[in-house]
Structure 1
Amino acid sequence: MDWWFEASRSKGTGIISSLSEVTGSSEAGIRLLLTLLLTYPSAFLHRKFLAKKEAELQHIFFILCGKDAIHSVVCIWVLHLNFLLGIPAVYTVAFQFTFQMFYLLAGYYFTESDTYDIKWTMPHCVLTLRLIGIAFDVYDGTKKPEELSPEQKIRALKQTPSLLEILGHAYFPSSFVVGPQFPIRRYLEYTSRAYSHIFLDENECVRVGIIRGLLAFLYLGLHFLGVLYIPTDHVTTSAFTEKPFYIKLLLIGLWGKLNMSKYLACWLLAEGSCIVSGLAYNGKTPDGKNKWNGTCNIELIPFETATQFSDMIRCFNINTNAWVASYVYKRLKWLKQKMVSHACALLFLAFWHGLHSGYYVTFLNEFIVINVERDFYEMYDRSKWGQKPWRSLWVKVPCIMLKTVWLWCGLSYCVVPFLLFKTWKWVTVYSGVYWYIHIIFILYPLYRGQLKKAMGRMAHKDKDEPAVLNGLAHSHSH
């Protein structure tokens, strides 16, 4: 499928060019959308003809659905050669982590432009995590069971995967382009027909997968309609900066939501295809119903109804965040400093996304906001303001509405650098709103004492009251 990305370098003609003009999207973006849609026929073909065949035939089918792009082939062969040479697993992890990330960063260096790049580096960043994950899983397979966490036990590999298995996992069409991430052990169980009877004997997964795919088009429609009225670069223009301050805040909130919708749409399309293929099967609920959330990358209802940054991050880009939590954050527990591990994990994510300054500022924003928010709500929950008598319906509903507006305005502010990439663009936007989020959060230690005093005397925390969790420490981080 990489040929769609390679073809995007030159101006297209025909239907793709026409769709680009009608929607206002780039031709590369249209190719990306068509690529994601093509994963559905491949899922149906596999389901119909190959799901109960030998694993080797399934691996070959998935490889043929992909494309032998030189970059992915080189990186896969380097990993396989590592295994063939019998290099100790711990050194394999160190080498693969370094090599795969260096290769990806070199790709960014030679291909990045001033806009969002839909090139070979897009699927390759997915592949990079996948290959590093395999190295870690083989390493975990060499440890004693008591040395592994429950999560590592699920992912660990007792046997080194073959080249055919690695290729099949790498080129699995439903997740090759934009993810989702999943460990190779899930893929091997899937191709070994461990639960093929579940998705072959029932049409439930097809129905659930199609619904997720249709939801993607709702978000695509929201994005395409929105950018017609609020183009992505509108917030960098004088027409925006000359507006009143409160209008700019609300406009950034709406602008961010419209631009984030395209990411949600891509994840929903990929997830829907994974569900149709059966890969997303995730066991059963206590009442015996099938779960199809094994590759869920966005929990829509919690995301759309969140009133705290940590809640929104927890249900956003779930599989990538779970990967970083498992293979980066939790592997740094020897530092014995959660905040340092959190910072390292976010720095890794910034490098993984690219070299634009906007990525690093965005994840710095997240680090600041998450830690300040966690401290504030821990203080609030113990204060008089946080006690039950204050939580009447008449107070709670307006507060939720205000928190939702604050959240989307604040979140959109934080992702401005991520969406605009270049330094001059996000500096222009931030200057136009006087860097207000940075001022509020960075100066928090200076007014924290007065805020705590205003909230009232600290009360004993109920034993059953949930603590505000750090997104990466206890769950995930974008």
Structure 2
Amino acid sequence: MLGDALFEKLASVAGAPISQIKLISILLVSFPIASLYGRLPAKRYNVAHLYSLIVSLIYLVPILGLGRGTLHLLFSCIGTYLIVVILRGPLMPWTAFIFCMGHLLYNHISRLVAGTPTSEIEITFTQMVFVMNLTTFAWNVHDGRRKVEDLDTSQRATRLDHVPTPLAFLGYCFFFPSMLIGPSFDYATYDALIHRTLYQNPPSTHGAKQDVKSTTPQRRPYGRRRVAYLHLLIGLIFLGFYSTYGTRAGYDRVLTPVWKQWTWLQRFGFIQFAGFTARTKYYAVWSLAEGACILTGLGFNGYDPKTGRSLWNRVQNVNILSIESAESFKVLFDSWNCRTNVWLRDCVYKRLTTKGKKPGTIQSMATFMTSALWVSPHGVEPGYHLAFVTAGMLTSLGRQYRHFVRPYFLPPAGSSSSLSKRVYDLIGWFMVQSNLNYVVAPFMLLSFRNCMTAWSRMGWYSHIIIALSMAFFQLGGRRRLRKGMEGRQAKTKPSFKLSPPSPMVDEKQETDFKWVRHALENQGEKGVHADGGFVDRVMRGAETPGTETPRTVDEEPFVHKQE
């Protein structure tokens, strides 16, 4: 393959498989290629489509050696395109969905039968991204054939009233910065990028630095390069961390004899460190891929209404700060693999829900099963199902703690904070992180025997917490907490306090690095295609009725709210 001699030397120095070295190299090379992409002629749309297609084929065939796998990708693309063009009516998107998922599952099973190790990069990793894009495309075309009044807000924004040309469709499927590992996105966003209408969002009136450039559709708003290269820096930092500690902090050490020589505190500390180290691998590759997408201009998402800064989180796949500081499982899961959550919401959960009706257990379980079958590498592994089921129970219990326990620790009316609330938040953060690192173990170990052995050596601490919490809520705890809260509210008189508006920030006058925190923290208050509490909604069908006011999918907007 192209450059194998160089990659072999790099692999021997880094002590990593050559396929992973190739993947990282491709992600890094995508930055200068993305910079050149931004200099393509503005109105030569076919040139942009061909550019992505050629670059992606070079990545796949001569570099990664996935020639046969590339044929599988083309088969999925051509099959989906024909289904969309030939079939009309409500069965079209489901036919495309079954076709794409069936093809992916076939390759998942083929990889399992062949005994391909999980560290080996092969076509199913990329095919998973294609499944999200292709099925989303089918639903967007279907929405374009429906009455506009029958669609919700997000469906109106992504509907397609015509099928694009085959070249434009392939340019979308093989968009080079996201083709290998994501992030996924809808065709309307890609089309807006190609035609430069993505930047026609009217500028803020805060005197911000982007106000001159953003009025011209041919120009990309201010802040694109610095946010893109910030993601590059973050990716490199986490890559270096994982390269240093990935082997020494692997969950497989729990299965070795050395585990029995450690004290309980050492064991618990190792689990937390192993969980964080496992996440850094994903932080690294997702940050690199997202940064390259931003450099092409794809990430633009309007302007922050408070500061006037440009937002570059349209295709955000992970919010690292939210994950590591999460005080609830809702925030944590909403911030992890965000684009997959969007896909599950838009192509499974909402599509199985009848308009005007409340989603229930069927929609919830179908969504989780789809996620399990889709997940890499290959939902046939028991470890993924163990992790998903346990995470689902923790999410459900987290919501109940939030509804029935958290109100007791909130500050009195008129106060902005209290010691009890800070203590509750600290305990919540500790419980979320420690249970997350427990759940990650089967996700990394995969086999049923290894998962059971690892959890046994960890003392089953998360399962004990789950069992005790479920017993408490089911045996009258929920009722007592609700009555106690009603008694407290009856004694409390409502009070109102008006806060002055936040001052607007002028980017021209700033000489510090506040933009760094803005780029890392912002979830996109304006039109972002974010998860917006999707996992929280999915679990609603599995919980005790009456814990909150029921809403339908159409009534409740998917807007992300930090807890």
Relative to the length of structure 2, the TM-score reads 0.76
Which of 128, 141, 144 aligns to 2:144? It is: 141
Partner Cα separation in structure 2 for residue 45 and residue 159 of structure 1: 30
Determine what percentage of the aligned residue pairs are the same residue: 24
**Compared with structure 1, are the counterparts of its residues 339 and 440 closer, same or farther at alpha carbon in structure 2 (3 Å cutoff)?**
farther
The answer for unaligned runs of 5 or more in structure 1 is 5-11
Task: Find the counterpart in structure 2 of residue 107 from structure 1.
Answer: 107
SS in 1 for 2:433: helix
**Compared with structure 1, are the counterparts of its residues 454 and 191 closer, same or farther at alpha carbon in structure 2 (3 Å cutoff)?**
closer
Residues 114 and 421 in structure 1, CA contact (< 8 A), matched pair in contact too: no
Q: Number of residues paired by the alignment?
A: 461
Root mean square deviation of aligned Cα: 2.8
Residues 334 and 533 in structure 2, CA contact (< 8 A), matched pair in contact too: no
Q: Which amino acid aligns with 2:373?
A: F
Residues 133 and 184 in structure 2, CA contact (< 8 A), matched pair in contact too: yes
**Compared with structure 1, are the counterparts of its residues 116 and 356 closer, same or farther at alpha carbon in structure 2 (3 Å cutoff)?**
farther
Task: Find the counterpart in structure 2 of residue 352 from structure 1.
Answer: 374
Residues 405 and 481 in structure 2, CA contact (< 8 A), matched pair in contact too: no
Q: Which amino acid aligns with 2:255?
A: T
The equivalences for 1:56-455 within 5 A come to 56-67=46-57, 69-84=70-85, 86-112=86-112, 113-195=116-198, 197=216, 200=219, 204-286=223-305, 288-334=308-354, 336-353=358-375, 354=378, 355-382=380-407, 384-386=408-410, 388=412, 393-448=418-473, 449=475, 451-452=477-478, 453=480
1:458 to 2:485 alignment: yes
Residues 281 and 294 in structure 1, CA contact (< 8 A), matched pair in contact too: yes
**Compared with structure 1, are the counterparts of its residues 242 and 400 closer, same or farther at alpha carbon in structure 2 (3 Å cutoff)?**
farther
Q: Which amino acid aligns with 1:24?
A: G
**Compared with structure 1, are the counterparts of its residues 472 and 70 closer, same or farther at alpha carbon in structure 2 (3 Å cutoff)?**
farther
1:127 Cα shift?
0.3
1:27 to 2:52 alignment: no
Partner Cα separation in structure 1 for residue 220 and residue 244 of structure 2: 40
1:300 Cα shift?
2.5
1:49 Cα shift?
2.7
Residues 322 and 475 in structure 1, CA contact (< 8 A), matched pair in contact too: no
Residues 222 and 310 in structure 2, CA contact (< 8 A), matched pair in contact too: no
Q: Which amino acid aligns with 2:17?
A: S
Residues 89 and 135 in structure 1, CA contact (< 8 A), matched pair in contact too: no
SS in 1 for 2:39: helix
Partner Cα separation in structure 2 for residue 136 and residue 445 of structure 1: 38
Partner Cα separation in structure 1 for residue 301 and residue 416 of structure 2: 37
1:97 Cα shift?
0.8
1:37 Cα shift?
1.3
**Compared with structure 1, are the counterparts of its residues 369 and 345 closer, same or farther at alpha carbon in structure 2 (3 Å cutoff)?**
same
1:471 to 2:490 alignment: no
Partner Cα separation in structure 2 for residue 97 and residue 325 of structure 1: 14
1:317 Cα shift?
1.1
Partner Cα separation in structure 2 for residue 213 and residue 285 of structure 1: 23
Task: Find the counterpart in structure 1 of residue 62 from structure 2.
Answer: none
SS in 1 for 2:122: coil
The answer for unaligned runs of 5 or more in structure 2 is 58-66, 200-215, 497-531, 538-557
Relative to the length of structure 1, the TM-score reads 0.88
Higher share in helix? 1
Q: Which amino acid aligns with 1:66?
A: S
**Compared with structure 1, are the counterparts of its residues 404 and 20 closer, same or farther at alpha carbon in structure 2 (3 Å cutoff)?**
farther
Which of 45, 52, 59 aligns to 1:55? It is: 45
**Compared with structure 1, are the counterparts of its residues 443 and 168 closer, same or farther at alpha carbon in structure 2 (3 Å cutoff)?**
same
Q: Which amino acid aligns with 1:388?
A: P
1:310 Cα shift?
1.1
